[in-house]
């Protein structure tokens, strides 16, 4: 019989890539969406899988909706990708961020514990939990957490709860500590997509500049399509565990600008980029670079798409979309 998976955050970036992977593996996929008058299916439409998913409604902040869902669906695997995932806004909406990212996870874990404790649970943890801490410039499974944003703090609560339910109740709960991963369906407020969209608009004469914040921050950027494979692999192991998932390379925003602009034939991006303090953060995470040796060794996972390939893929996709507008 086909395995049944519930994915929260199905309309975001990772949800569609994970759903596509699970559908290819013959899973029955349920996708949790919030109630909207006009839901936005553009990301799953982009991957061509909208008709293959069964949508169920609920909200991470509404405990009873999650209790009912787990009670009725009894999924084999639950992937919790839902979040207020934008670090920048988490200072302005710290309470909402905590309700969705922290309490929402507690509600979902309890729903599983009460109604279907055999379900395997994946929690979307994040490299943002490390803050500026590292072991000589690298973050691994051993690096202590030191979050610097309300988002990072909210995710750390969920991370520890996920671990606690494993230790306290023997549930199969695993967290992936994923470093930044991007794609053509990345939200436009995140820096990579903001740049790829801006570069396409500048190239096609529709905009004149891109306004950005801190250009010196470094991120370990991988491709979302690669990273969702690690999520699935974590739930196929004999034992639950937590894993860092990263590419092991780090690049600054300036590096991203270099590759993106050069790809459309513009050698110097400086005339097209304005630094606007509005996009700077009250506390920045300066450098993220992950060591995912454990995931490589135990899951047999490794990233396939390089940094240059990722940037070009995103710019090409936006050139096509902006061209069609
Ligand atoms: P995303 O594009 O922002 O998607 C998040 C999804 O969560 C959206 O579909 C959103 O629904 C849903 N959501 C928000 N609040 C909700 C609520 N109250 N109830 C139900 N659903 C709600 O995020 P992503 O990039 O796919 O990331 C997936 C997960 O991985 C997130 O938990 C994120 O924090 C984590 N993560 C991401 C990265 C990364 O680099 N992408 C790295 C590490 C960890 P709507 O569509 O209705 O708004
Ligand atoms: O693209 P970002 O907004 O991603 P950030 O803050 O690293 O968070 C993403 O990755 C986390 C994993 O490490 C996830 F957990 C989280 O959900 C999200 O997916 O910003 C990246 C960097 C930051 O240093 C930011 O200050 O880019 C810098 N930046 C510079 N100018 C900008 C801008 N970021 C945004 N969003 N917009 C700018 O104009």
> pLDDT tens digit string along 250-272?
999 999 999 999 999 999 999 99
Q: What's domain 4-181+222-245's architecture?
A: 3-Layer(aba) Sandwich (3.40)
Tell me, what's the pLDDT at 239? 98
Fold exhibited by the domain 187-219+250-287+306-320: UDP-galactose 4-epimerase; domain 1 (3.90.25)
Nearest one of 164, 162, 165 to 174, comparing CA atoms: 162
Mean local confidence (pLDDT), 272-289:
98
8 in active site: no
- CA 135 – CA 142 distance, rounded (Å): 9
- Best residue among 219, 260, 282, 310 to mutate for probing ligand 2, ranked by most atoms within 8 Å of CB: 219
Contacts of 86 (CB under 8 A, 6+ apart): 151, 187, 189, 190
pTM of structure: 0.98
**Residue 103: which of 131, 79, 120, 80 has the closest Cα?**
80
Could you confirm whether 128 is annotated as catalytic? yes
| Among 98, 126, 143, 250, the one annotated catalytic | 126
Torsion angle (degrees, nearest 10) of CA 298, 163, 92, 79: 60
| Residue whose CA is at the smallest distance from ligand 1 atom 2 | 12
* Active-site residue, selected from the candidate residues 17, 27, 79, 151: 151
Q: What angle do CA 163, 18, 27 make, to 5 degrees?
A: 95
For residue 1, pLDDT beyond 90: no
Q: Where are the domains of the chain?
A: 4-181+222-245, 187-219+250-287+306-320
Ligand 1 center from residue 203 Cα (angstroms):
30
Cα–Cα distance between 209 and 300 in angstroms, integer? 42
């Amino acid at each position: 019989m086909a395995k049944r998976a519930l994915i929260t955050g199905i309309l975001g970036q990772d949800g569609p890539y994970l759903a596509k992977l699970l559908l290819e593996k013959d899973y029955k996929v349920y996708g949790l969406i919030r109630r909207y008058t006009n839901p936005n299916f553009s990301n799953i439409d982009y991957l061509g899988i909208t008709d293959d998913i069964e949508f169920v409604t609920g909200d991470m902040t509404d405990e009873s909706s999650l209790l009912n869902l787990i009670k009725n669906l009894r999924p084999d695997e639950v992937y919790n990708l839902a979040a207020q995932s934008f670090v920048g806004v988490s200072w302005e909406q710290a309470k909402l961020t905590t309700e969705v990212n922290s309490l929402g996870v507690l509600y979902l874990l309890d729903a599983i514990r009460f109604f279907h404790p055999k379900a395997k649970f994946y929690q979307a943890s994040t490299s943002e939990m490390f803050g500026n801490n590292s072991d000589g410039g690298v973050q691994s499974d051993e690096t202590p957490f030191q979050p610097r944003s309300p988002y990072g703090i909210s995710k750390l609560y969920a991370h520890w709860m996920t671990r606690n339910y494993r230790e306290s109740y023997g549930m199969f709960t695993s967290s992936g500590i994923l470093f930044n991963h991007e794609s053509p369906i990345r939200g436009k407020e995140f820096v990579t997509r903001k740049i790829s969209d801006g570069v396409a608009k500048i190239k096609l004469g529709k905009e004149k500049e891109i306004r950005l914040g801190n250009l010196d921050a470094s991120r370990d950027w991988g491709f979302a399509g690669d990273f969702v494979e690690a999520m699935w692999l974590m739930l196929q192991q004999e034992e639950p565990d937590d894993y860092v998932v990263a590419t092991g390379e780090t690049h600054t925003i300036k590096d991203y600008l270099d590759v993106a602009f050069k790809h459309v034939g513009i050698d110097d991006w400086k005339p097209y980029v304005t630094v606007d303090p509005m996009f700077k953060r009250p506390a920045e995470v300066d450098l993220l670079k992950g060591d995912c040796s454990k995931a490589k060794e135990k899951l047999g996972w490794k990233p396939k798409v390089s940094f240059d390939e990722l940037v070009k893929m995103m710019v090409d996709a936006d050139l096509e979309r902006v061209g069609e507008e």
